[in-house]
């Protein structure tokens, strides 16, 4: 008989699934709080088209897309309607605002909590698009 089998004590422990489920619930609550905060910071409107949104219709959009190296920082998140979010896709902000200057004008008006660089880029893209149209 080995010494391991003699000194083994069986103690009850919590099931593994409960801890995993608890982490998932906390992650969902965090995402919900981030969405509410972003929605409030964007004046409860889509930052691209300016339409009024409800919390259930709003989607979180990454101004600088994750596929291009963006982050989940609050300064990179804005509230957008589903149509504008799909229209933007994975375009960079300056590409999107150059193609749709009206979106850049609304972005400067409603996106209050985004990084300054994004607002500067929107202003530059809108002014270039207006200059080319004239």
Residues composing the chain: 134
| Contact criterion met (CB below 8 Å) for 110 and 45 | yes
- pLDDT for res 19: 66
Q: Which residues of the chain have pLDDT under 70?
A: 1-20, 134
Question: What is the DSSP code (8-state) at residue 74?
Answer: G
Residue 76 CB neighbour total at 10 angstroms:
19
Q: What is the pTM of this model?
A: 0.74
Name the token pair of 48: 């691209």
The per-residue pLDDT for range 39-61, each reduced to its tens digit, is: 998 899 999 999 999 989 999 99
CA 131 – CA 129 distance, rounded (Å): 5
């Amino acid at each position: 008989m080995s010494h391991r089998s003699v000194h083994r004590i069986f103690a009850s422990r919590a099931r593994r699934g409960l801890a995993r489920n608890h982490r998932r619930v906390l992650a969902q609550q965090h995402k919900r709080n981030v969405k509410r905060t972003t929605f409030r910071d964007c004046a409860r409107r889509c930052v691209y088209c300016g339409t009024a949104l409800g919390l259930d219709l709003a989607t979180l959009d990454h101004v600088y897309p994750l596929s291009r190296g963006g982050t989940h920082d609050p300064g990179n998140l804005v509230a957008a309607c589903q149509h504008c979010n799909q229209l933007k896709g994975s375009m960079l902000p300056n590409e999107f605002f150059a193609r749709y200057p009206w979106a850049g004008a609304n972005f400067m008006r409603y996106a209050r909590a985004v990084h300054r660089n994004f607002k500067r880029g929107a202003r530059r893209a809108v002014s270039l698009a207006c200059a080319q149209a004239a």
